[in-house]
Structure formats: structure tokens, C-alpha cells
Structure 1
Amino acid sequence: MKDLGHGANVNHIAKMYDKNPKDIIDFSSNINPKVIQGLEKYILEGLSECRSYPDINYTNLRNNISKYISVKSDFIIPGNGATEIIYLLMKSIGKRLAILNPTFSEYERSAKLSGLEIINLNLNEKKQFSIDLEDIKENIEKFDSLFICNPNNPNGKVKDLTELLNLMIQNNKLLIVDETFMEFVAEEEKYSLVKYVQRYENIFILKAVTKFFGMPGLRLGYGLTSNKEIIEKIHNYKEPWTINSFADTLSNHIFEDKNYIEDSKKYYIKERSYMLQELRNIQNIVVYDTDTNFILIKLNDRRSYEIKVELLTKGNILIRDASNFIGLDDSYIRVAIKSHEENEILIKHMKNVLGD
């Protein structure tokens, strides 16, 4: 299998370093450590549905998502994780795509596989990876669609995209926004563009259950747009039955669990503050602000691969070497925010490896 350069490769790393995968604390993948109450019961409920094909139109699933985000079910395209939607979308849009980097590598990979022309634009690293609107304006005739992650992976900072959206509307361009980490943001409603989906056809939003609901193995994501042409094209390409009965059944419950949602948001507001403060007590690193469940760190005089190996061999801790993000180099690492106990272990070992 080709190494696609993502995190969450615990089994591969464990084999390389002769470790038990269960002993490794995975800070390379950004997953909510909290578990939905009653999850086992819901899984058994889904198991009972497995002797029948899932509804090919995912009517129940789309209705559940519709109630959760207040968007018409006709504008919701469920997928086998947000990644399936990304790959379908690349087959369904104009041939010129601009991507704001550094960001998730599957945007570029899926675009290349669909034969799109890619224009790589850059976020401003010196200003917390802010958007350079002037740069986008200067290049606006070079692309049909613009892809941005908000909050952005790998730095985790959320942005107000109102000006960018207006620019895209004025120039009749498509704005694609990956909001798979948006639910971790304290002021989610302020920053999310979901509220504009039904008003403007210039928006396509990606969402997922993977991160916030802590179930990457469920593989449930969805796209949102009122652009009927894109919806029709995606359905023309989409394979049938890519979402299983477990995901469909769990959608009856997880979106309704208000306590889980509120507790998770409160936890991350508090734990982000703790992690940022503790990490900034370590010398010779730069810790970037974050609004989500991971933190980007720049090493002043060490290399990302060296630190990754040291943390793994000395502390059974797996972090994300961020050197393969476009626009970053081998001085960057990314760490997830996990349970408080696991975060304490990470801080302790990072202090040992990097010095107080």
C-alpha cells in the first residue's frame, strides 16, 4: 500500500519499532476522546439491520443530518467519510482548482486524480496562517473553485470567511469549505458557513462524524450545497450503498445527544487553554494558537522526524510529523488534544525531549 503521509498509522509504526500498538498513545490523529453514552446499544441496533441493504437514498440519514444542521435534506450528500465526498466533488466541478496551503493533502491528491489544474495559494504563516485576500484577488481569473479548510488543518485556527465568500459570489466562483473540525470551535455558529448554504449556490461544505463524535472507523461524512448541478453530477458518479447500516442507525442517536455535544465543547475550551499554556513553557518551540482539537508546533533547532522518533521510543507517544504539508518544512510537528491524563503524559515527555 502507498504511504499517503497521514497520521493514525499506529499499526505500521508499531511494527517498524517492534512495539505493541496498544501501548502507543496516538497524538497523530485528531479524535475526540469522549465516547457517546449508549454506543454499544446503538451498535447492536445497527447489527440487527445488517441483513438488509441500506436505503440507497439514505432518506433517514439525510433527515437526521437535516435536523442537526438545519439544512434541507435535498441539499445533503452523505458519504463514506468526508473523503469520499471530496473525491466525488473533484469529478463534479470546473477544471481549475485553487487550494489554500498548508492543508489536508487529499484535496490535491483527489484533484490530480480527476485531472484538475491546481493553483497552490498560501496562507500567511507569519500572521497565524491568515488569508491573503489580495493574493486571491490577483489570482481569481486563474481558478473556478477555491478550497479552504476551516478551522484549518494543520494549524487549527478558525477564520471569518465572510469577505472571502463575498469575493467568490461577486466573481461567480465556487467556495469549498472543509468544516470537519468546526464543531470543536467555541463560537461555531459565528464562523460556520452552513447558514448560507440554502441562500447561495456558490458554497460547498464538507462535514464529518469522524472527528467530533470520535468515530473515525464509522466512516460517515456529508457534503452540503444548494447547487443542483453539482448535486446531480455527484450522484451520477457516486457508487450505491457506500454507507453501512451502523452509520445509518447511529445517526438516529448521536446528533440528538446534546449533553455529549455540550460537554465536548466545554472540555476543549478548557483543555486547549491548558495545553497551550503548558507547551509555551517549553523553550525553543513556537506554539500556534488553535480553535480546535490539535496544535501546530514549530521547532527552533530540532527536526520533526527526530522528535517523532524520540517521543515514540522513550514515551510510546506518536505525534504527526507535519513536514509533508505544502508550505511547511521539517521544523513542524502537530499534536492532538486528547484526554487530560494523556495530555499530561505528552507534556511531560516533550519537556524531557525538548527541555523546559
Structure 2
Amino acid sequence: MKDLGHGANVDLMAKTFNKKTEDIIDFSSNINPKVIPNLKKYILEGLNKCKSYPDINYTSLRKNISSYININPKFIIPGNGATEIIYLLMKNIKRRLAILNPTFSEYERGAKLNNLEVINFKLNKDDEFSVNFHEIEEKINEFDSLFICNPNNPNGKVKDIEKLLELMIKHNKLLIVDETFMEFVYEDEKYSLIKYVEKYENIFILKAVTKFFGMPGLRLGYGVTSNKQLIEDIYKYKEPWSVNSFADTLSNYIFNDKDYISSSKEYYLNERAYMLSSLRKIKKLKVYDTDTNFILIRFEDKKAKELKLQLFEESNILIRDASNFINLDENYIRIAIKSHEENQLILKELNRIMGE
């Protein structure tokens, strides 16, 4: 199978280096380490429902998401992870798509597989990956849709993009916003464009349930838009029953767990500050600001590929080589913010290596 260049290739790395998967500490995937209370109970409930097909219309699931984000359920499209929604979307938008880079590679891959013309814009990495609004406005007639990740992957910084939305509305373009990491932002309601979905048909928002709730293997995501024609077109391509009974059942509980949600946000608020402060004490590296659960780092004289191998071979730590992101070079890595104990371990190992 083709290597798509993402993180979390734990099984392959373990096999290649003859290590046990359970011994590997995965800093390459950005997942909440906190476990939902009563998870096993909910999974067992989902197991009991596996004898029947899931509701093909996902009525209960869409209703649960609707209550969580305060959006009419008819504007919600559930999927087998946010990635399914990305690929469905690419089948149904106009032919010219602009993407702000560096960012998640599946946007461009999905676009090209559907014969879309891709126009790549560059975020300013010398200014915390800021958006060049002037350039986008200058080239507004060169694209039909604009794709932005907010907070952005791989740097994790959230942006106020209401000005971008205004520009897209003015020129009748579609703004696609990947908000899969938005829940990690402490005051996410200030930055999420969800509040504008029912007012404007020019927005399509992607969300992922399983990152913030710490269950990536569950595969649950959704798209949100009030563009009725786009919703109708997507459902023409969408496969039935792509979301399983486990995800459907869990949606009855996880969105209502206010303690889990608030404690996770509080944890990341404090742990981000700890990690950023600690990393910036290590010499010969640049640490980018983040509002999420991962950190982008550039080393002055250390290649990402070499560091990844060294950390894995010597310490069983797997990091994300970020050199394959558009507009990044071979010195960039990305690490997740995990449990405090695991974070202390990677800090210790980076100090050891960079202190050599």
C-alpha cells in the first residue's frame, strides 16, 4: 500500500525495527490522552446493536451532533472520519480549488483524484503562518473554492478568519474550513465559523469527533453547511452505513460529558504552556506557537529524518517528520502533546540529543 506520509505508522515502524508496538510512545498522532469515562460500557452497548444495520439516515447521530454544535441537524453530514467528508466534498465542488499551505495533504490528494485544478497559497511561516489576505484578494478570480485548516495542521495556531469569510461571501466563493482541531482551542467559540453556517451558504465546515475525544480508531467526523444543493449532491455519492453502530451509540453520551470536555480544555491550556516553555529552553530549535494539541518545531542543524530515527531507535519515541508538508523543509518535526509523564520523557530525550 502507498505510504501517504501521515503520522501514526506505529505498526510499520515496530515491524521494521523489531520492536513491540506496546513499547512505542506515539508522538506522531495528535490524540487526546484522556479516556472518556464509561467507554467500555458504551462500546458494549454498541456491540449489542451490531446485529442490525445502523440507521441509514443517522437521525439520532445528527440530532446529537446538532445539540452539541447548536446547528439544525439537516445541515449535518456524518462520515467515517472527517476524511470521508473531504473526499465526498471533492466530488462535488467546482473545478478550481485554492489551498492554504502547509496543511493536511489529503485536501490536495482528494482534489487531484477528482481532477480538480489546485492553486496553492503559502502561509507566512516567518509570521506564525499568517494568512496573506491581500494575495488571496488579488487572485480571487483564479479559484472557485478556498480550503483552510483552522487551527492549522501542522503548526496548530488558530486564526480569526472572519475577514476571509467576508471576502468569500463578497465574491460568491465557497470557503471550506477544517475545524477538526478546534475543540482543543481554549475559547474555540471565538474562532469557529459554525455560528455563521445557517446564515451563509458559502461555508462548509469539517469536524472530527475522535481526535478531541481520544478515539481515532472509531472513525467519526462530519461536515456542516446550509448549502442545500451541496448537501444533496454529496448524498448522491455518499455510501450507505459508513458510520458504524459503535460511533452512533457513543454519540448519545460523549457530547454530553461536560466534565470531560472542560477538563480536557483546561489540561491542554496548562500543558501547552509547559511544553512551549520547556522546548524553548532547548538550544538550536525554533518552536512555533500553538493553540491545539501538537507543536511544530524547526531544528537549526538537525534533519527531521535523522532525529526521527534516533528517537525511535534509542527511546521508542515516534515523532512526525514534517518535511513533506508543502512549504516546509527537511528540518521540521511535529510532536503531539500527550500525558504530562510522556511529555516529560520526550523533553528529556530532546535535551539529551540537542545537548550532545
- 1:85-123 Cα deviation digits (max 9, x unpaired): 000000011100000000000000000001100000010
Supply the distance in 2 between the matched residues of 1:125 and 1:295 (Cα, whole angstroms).
14
Q: Which residue of 2 aligns with 1:82?
A: 82
Question: AA paired with 1:184?
Answer: F
Amino acid at match of 2:313: T
Deviation, structure 1 residue 354 = 1.3
Give the letter aligned to residue 262 of structure 1.
S
Per-residue deviation, 1:138: 1.4
SS at match of 1:282: coil
Structure 2 partner of 1:184? 184
Letter of the 1:236 counterpart: K
Structure 2: how far apart are the matches of 1:135 and 1:21?
Answer: 46
Q: Deviation of residue 139 (structure 1)?
A: 1.2
| TM-score, scaled relative to structure 1 | 0.99
Partners of 1:337 and 1:175 lie apart in 2 by 29
CA drift at 1:187: 1.2
* Residue number in structure 1 paired with 2:287: 287
Query: In 2, Cα distance between the equivalents of 1:54 and 1:313?
Result: 44
Counterpart position of 1:210 = 210
Letter in 2 for 1:289: D
| Matched residue, 2:93 | 93
Question: How much has 1:258 moved relative to structure 2?
Answer: 0.3
Cα-to-partner distance string for 1:135-189 (whole Å, 9 max, x where unaligned): 1011110100000000000000000011000000000000000000000001100
Query: 2:150, 2:355 → 1: CA distance?
Result: 33
Matching residue of 2:195: 195
In structure 2, what residue type is equivalent to 1:335? I
The residue correspondences of 1:78-227 to structure 2 (distance < 5 A) are: 78-227=78-227
Residue deviations 1:56-106 (CA, integer Å, cap 9, x gap):
000000000000000000000000000000000000111000000000000
Q: Which residue of 1 aligns with 2:278?
A: 278
Q: Distance in 2 between matches of 1:112 and 1:354?
A: 40
The one-character-per-residue Cα deviations of 1:13-52 (angstroms, maximum 9, x if unpaired) are 1111111111110000000000000000000000010000
Show the counterpart of 2:55: 55
1:270 CA drift (Å): 0.2
What value does the CA root-mean-square deviation take over the aligned residues? 0.6
User: What corresponds to 1:68 in structure 2?
Assistant: 68
| TM-score normalised by the chain length of structure 2 | 0.99
Distance 2:26 2:350 in 1: 14
Helix, strand or coil at the partner of 1:11:
helix
- C-alpha distance in 2 between matches for 1:197 and 1:329: 36
Secondary structure of 2:335's match? strand
Aligned residue for 1:15?
15
Q: Which stretches of structure 1, 4 residues or longer, exceed 4 Å deviation after superposition?
A: none
Structure-1 separation of matches of 2:20 and 2:39: 26
Structure 2 unaligned blocks of 5 or more = none
Give, in angstroms, the shift of residue 314 of structure 1. Answer: 1.1
Partners of 1:162 and 1:219 lie apart in 2 by 29
Q: For residue 277 of structure 2, what is the amino acid of its counterpart?
A: Q
How far apart are the structure 1 equivalents of 2:208 and 2:158? 17
Deviations 1:213-270 (A, max 9, x none): 0000100000000001110010000000101000000000000000000000000000
Alignment of 1:239-258 (within 5 A): 239-258=239-258
Aligned to 2:336: 336
Look up the SS of the partner of 2:148 in the other structure: strand
User: How many residues matched?
Assistant: 356
Query: What is the rounded CA distance, in whole Å, between the counterparts of 2:174 and 2:354 in structure 1?
Result: 44
Give the whole-Å Cα distance in 2 for the aligned partners of 1:199 and 1:214. 31
Query: For 1:133 and 1:127, how far apart are their aligned partners in 2?
Result: 14
Q: Which amino acid aligns with 2:175?
A: L
CA distance in structure 2 between the aligned counterparts of 1:22 and 1:280, rounded to whole angstroms: 30
Q: In the alignment, does 2:291 pair up with 1:297? A: no
1:290-348 CA distance string (max 9 Å, x none): 00000000010110001101111111100000000001010100000000000000000
Mapped to 2, the partners of 1:350 and 1:250 lie a distance apart of 38
C-alpha distance in 2 between matches for 1:277 and 1:193: 30
Q: Deviations over 1:188-220 (max 9, x none)?
A: 000000000000000000001121000001000
Q: What is the deviation of 1:54?
A: 0.4
Which stretches in structure 1 are left out of the alignment for 5+ residues?
Answer: none
